[in-house]
Structures are given as structure tokens and as C-alpha cells.
Structure 1
Amino acid sequence: MKKLLLSFILIVSVAAQAQILEPVKWSTSFEKISENEFDLIATATIDAGWHVYSQSVPEYGPIPTTFVFEGSTNFLKKGNTKEGKGHEVYDKVFELDIKYFEDEAVFKQRIRLKTTDAFVVNGVVEFMVCNDTQCLPPNEVDLSFDIPKS
């Protein structure tokens, strides 16, 4: 009887783990713009049928995508994080015209180096992902960018 109960608990816990949805995967890279400027690039790969919202959404809409970068004496942030074109469509869930990204979203933050040493830029992205019938709770993902010695 104990083995049967243990087997049942194991099957239920495996099934519960399979129910966790993570339709967005984040990756980081950088692009050297000049001797002392780099673009930090955060790329969201989005599962089919899902979408991630823009950094700019209407009032009463979803949680916008936001980026926060840890301050450092090694660099200076230049301007705001830029995003790709995306799609502006009527969102059935929020009943609003909203800009969002499907398949892939690319965000770029320009920085100016204040050192020639290698260093790491750490940040966090907060985003909300939805499909045509549901939205998942907002999620935060840590981002890390390894800037090489120049």
C-alpha cells in the first residue's frame, strides 16, 4: 500500500511540473558600436501562440515589458531601452489596441564604457506573456551581459 501511495504522489508531482508554462526564453548578447559604446541586446524567444507586450502599453492594459540595469562605475546608460517594430493589434484579452511581439522580441540598451577593463552588466526584465485566452502572471528574469576588455 505504501508503494502504491508513493507511486501516486510521484506521478502527481511529475504531472504538476509538466503544467508549468514558460513560453518565453531570454538570451543576451552585445554589439560593439564604437571604441567606447556597446548595445546590450536582450532577445526573447516566444513560443507559438504567445506574445510579449511592448514597453509602452495603454492605461488599463497589461504589464509593460520593463528593464532595470544595475548601476556601475564601469558604464553610463545612454537613453532608454529601444525595442523592435512588433505588431499593433486589437487584444481580445484586454479589449485594447496594444503593441506586442510574437516569435521573437529584441530590445537594445546603449551604454558608454568608462573603463577598458572587462566587466559584467546585470539587469532584470519584467514582462507579461499572453495568448488569445489567458495571461500568465508577470515574470522577472535576471539578465547578464559580459563586456570584454577593450
Structure 2
Amino acid sequence: MKHLWGFVLFFLCGVFTSQSESFNPVQWKIAWDSVGENEVEIFFTAKIEKGWHIYGMNLPQGGPVSTDFTFHTLKNIKQEKTVFPLSSPIIFYDSIFGMEISTFSNKVSFSALFERTSKEDFLLEGEIIYMACDGQHCLAPQREKYNMISVHREYDLHERG
């Protein structure tokens, strides 16, 4: 009987751990639009669950993990401008980190401009790195990888796995 209770306790701990590891309060979508004959604007939109936030870009060292966009593969396009948020972050002094930080809540879109170098379909592969917190808990930094080809206008990263 003692071994049975040990197994039940072990099993329940595993269930709760796996559920908490799969929880992610942030869902990303990527979309693009033509901005002229040879320019493309790519939008990275985060939908953030109520009570949670992600951190801004370019935070000082020693603080939380900044939201960052990395492009590993660019085919038939080249980046013209760096990624920037389309809305202003909330900026405040965080006593835990001892510095001013910026956050985004609810929904935020980031944008980047690219030049098409060919009339053929373009390919953009990369990853988004971000950290989500809710005021009491912070999740480990997340890496959302994506592979976008121009024949599709929008990608839901959560549904694609």
C-alpha cells in the first residue's frame, strides 16, 4: 500500500509539472503586407493573456529577458529597418531588478521593413525570444521559431507547433 501511494504521488506531481510546462500565456501571429512595389512590412503580433505581460526590447543587462527578433534565413528579401513596436510600452521602475523596465500587456504588434530582392516568393526563418510574467510568476524565456513563405499572408505559431 505504501508503494501505491508513492506511485500516485509521483504520478500527480508529473501531471502538474507537465501541465505547467506547457502553459504559455502568449500566442504569436506573423503576417505581412506589401508597402510598395519592392517593400514588404512584416508584423509580429503577440496576444497576451489578461494579467500577464512581456518585456520590451533592448532592456539593460541584469534585468529580465528582452523581447528579441532574430532572422536566420532571408531568401529574396533583405532587412531595411530593425524591428520596432507599433505601440508604446509601459515603463516603470522595478524594485526587484533595480532598474526601469518596459512591458507590453494584452496585445502588441512589432513591425519590420524588408526589401524584396526578387519577384519570386520570399522566405523568412527565425525566432522570437521573450519572457512572460504575471506579477507573481515569471516563465522561463521562450523561443518561438517560425518559417514564413510569402504565398501565405499570416501564420499562427501556436497552431503550427
Shorter-chain TM-score range: 0.7 to 0.9
* Change in CA separation of 1:61 and 1:81 when aligned onto 2, cut-off 3 Å: same
- Using the alignment, how far apart are the partners of 1:76 and 1:98 within structure 2? 31
* Change in CA separation of 1:134 and 1:14 when aligned onto 2, cut-off 3 Å: closer
Paired AA for residue 109 in structure 2: V
- Using the alignment, how far apart are the partners of 1:82 and 1:64 within structure 2? 13
Identity %: 23
Q: Structure 1 or 2: larger helix share?
A: 2
Q: Which runs of 5+ in 1 are unaligned?
A: none
Match of 1:38 in 2: 40
Aligned 8 A contact 1:30 1:145 in 2: no
Paired AA for residue 71 in structure 2: F
TM-score (norm 2): 0.78
- Using the alignment, how far apart are the partners of 2:128 and 2:38 within structure 1? 24
| Equivalent pairs, count | 149
Deviation of the 1:45 alpha carbon = 1.0
Q: Counterparts of 1:64-103 in structure 2 under 5 Å?
A: 64-83=66-85, 84-103=87-106
* Change in CA separation of 1:60 and 1:14 when aligned onto 2, cut-off 3 Å: closer
Match of 2:26 in 1: 24
TM-score (norm 1): 0.84
Q: Let me know the Cα RMSD of the aligned residues.
A: 2.4
Aligned 8 A contact 1:120 1:146 in 2: yes
Deviations 1:39-60 (A, max 9, x none): 1111111111111111121332
Match of 1:115 in 2: 118
Match of 2:155 in 1: none
Aligned 8 A contact 1:88 1:97 in 2: yes
Aligned 8 A contact 2:55 2:103 in 1: yes
Aligned 8 A contact 1:40 1:145 in 2: no
Deviation of the 1:136 alpha carbon = 1.6
Match of 1:15 in 2: 16
Are residue 105 (structure 1) and residue 147 (structure 2) matched?
A: no
Secondary structure in structure 2 of the residue aligned to 1:41: strand
- Using the alignment, how far apart are the partners of 2:13 and 2:66 within structure 1? 35
Deviations 1:104-123 (A, max 9, x none): 12111110001111232111
